[in-house]
């Protein structure tokens, strides 16, 4: 084994320490195990493993409740934030986070998460957003973007017939009780590392008892999107990622809407293009 060679330094371990086994029931190319890694590694690094309690909603990720090495409560569909509220009020010394999908949080339990945020409960809600009901076979959810092809919107989501997508991060950022709201993604390695930092900041806010924290992660669902696994990250970046822009929506009391994040990205792209036209970026 290479591990016995003293010259080699481990820079990345196979599975997070808080996952019991590498085996799981997710499809090939799924983004949820990546989000799980980004969530669990900060818990381990901050030394919270012995006092963290997870509340799982209903979705594919619910099967992680069998392999996550944390105390865990299973909630009804969409009700995880309310269960987390109860857990946190009874055990204020613990770190409580929920694990929910977009169908669970935005469709089924929208009022639960909004009220929990408005009350400023000291919990972290995690949204794994893939724009479809992955577990039931790829149907449209409230976060599916316009034009997205799902099992019941075969010609693409039509605003006139299906309505507009909900940007849940913006809704929550506007509430007084929320102190940290971020939207991450797992479309490439850099994005996973950035998402991990977002989780770390959210848990640090909760450790300081500041209030409600929220982390959304865009995850691939090639099975629900009916595309080859290898095209998943690019497809997600070009469809969901164009509407649900990655970035911190509320941090240190400053609110930045998704539109502002989009404008910043456009500005950066223009600057890069100008720099390239001048003959490359220095430094």
Partner 1 sequence: MSSHVDSQTNDARDARGTVTIATEVCKGCELCIEACPPRVLAMGTDVNHLGYHFPELHDGCTGCAACQLICPDFVFEVFRRPRKTAAATTAGSTT
Nearer to partner 1, 24 or 119 (CB): 24
Strand 254-255, strand 247-251: pairing? antiparallel
The set of residues, in sequence order, having a beta carbon less than 8 Å from that of 53 and lying 6+ positions away, is 70, 71, 72, 73, 87, 91, 94, 95, 96, 97
Residue 128 within binding range of partner 1, rule CB under 8 A: no
CB of 16 to partner 1, least distance (A): 8
Residue 66 interacting with partner 1 (CB under 8 A): no
Angstrom distances, CA of residue 177 to CA of 34, 123, 253:
28, 11, 11
**CB nearer to partner 1: pick between 31 and 169:** 31
d(CA 11, CA 9): 6
Residue 196's alpha-carbon distances to 74, 101, 203, in angstroms, are: 24, 18, 11
Kindly indicate which of the ranges 11-19, 172-180, 205-213, 266-274 contains the residues binding partner 1, using the contact rule CB under 8 A: 11-19
186 binds partner 1, rule: CB under 8 A: yes
Work out which of 4, 17, 18, 19 binds partner 1, going by CB under 8 A. Answer: 19
CB-based contacts of 224, cutoff 8 Å, min separation 6: 130, 132, 133, 134, 137, 138, 150, 151
Binding range to partner 1, per CB under 8 A, among 33-41, 42-50, 79-87, 108-116:
33-41
Rounded to a whole number of angstroms, the minimum distance from the CB of residue 50 to partner 1 is 23
Task: State which of positions 206-265 bind partner 1 (CB under 8 A).
Answer: 222, 229-230, 232-233
**Looking at 66, 189, 269, 275, which residue binds partner 1 (CB under 8 A)?**
189
| Intra-chain end-to-end CA distance of the chain, in Å | 39
Q: Single out the residue of 154, 146, 151 nearest to residue 132, CA to CA.
A: 151
Residue 4 makes contact with partner 1 by CB under 8 A: no
Residues of the shown chain interacting with partner 1 in the complex, contacts defined by CB under 8 A: 1-3, 5, 7-16, 19, 22-24, 26-34, 37, 186, 188-189, 192-193, 222, 229-230, 232-233
């Amino acid at each position: 084994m290479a591990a016995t060679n003293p010259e080699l330094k481990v820079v990345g371990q196979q599975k997070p320490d808080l996952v019991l086994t590498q085996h799981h029931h997710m499809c090939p190319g799924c983004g949820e195990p990546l989000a799980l890694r980004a969530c669990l590694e900060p818990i381990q690094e901050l030394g919270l493993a012995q006092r963290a309690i997870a509340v799982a909603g209903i979705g594919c990720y619910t099967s992680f409740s069998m392999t996550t090495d944390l105390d865990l409560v299973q909630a009804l569909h969409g009700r995880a934030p309310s269960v987390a509220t109860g857990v946190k009020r009874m055990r204020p010394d613990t770190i409580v986070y929920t694990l929910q999908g977009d169908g669970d949080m935005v469709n089924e339990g929208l009022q639960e998460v909004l009220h929990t945020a408005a009350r400023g409960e000291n919990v972290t809600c995690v949204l794994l957003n893939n724009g479809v009901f992955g577990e039931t076979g790829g149907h449209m959810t409230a976060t599916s973007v316009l034009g997205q092809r799902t099992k019941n919107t075969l010609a693409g989501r039509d605003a006139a017939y299906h309505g507009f997508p909900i940007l849940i991060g913006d809704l929550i950022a506007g509430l007084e009780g929320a102190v940290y709201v971020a939207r991450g993604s797992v479309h490439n390695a850099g994005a996973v590392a950035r998402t991990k930092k977002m989780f770390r900041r959210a848990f640090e806010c909760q450790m300081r008892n500041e209030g409600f924290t929220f982390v959304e992660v865009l995850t691939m669902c090639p099975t629900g999107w009916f595309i080859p696994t290898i095209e998943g990250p690019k497809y997600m970046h070009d469809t969901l990622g164009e509407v649900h822009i990655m970035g911190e929506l509320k941090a240190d009391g400053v609110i930045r809407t998704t539109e502002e994040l989009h404008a910043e990205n456009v500005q950066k792209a223009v600057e890069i293009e100008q720099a390239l036209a001048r003959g490359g970026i220095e430094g």
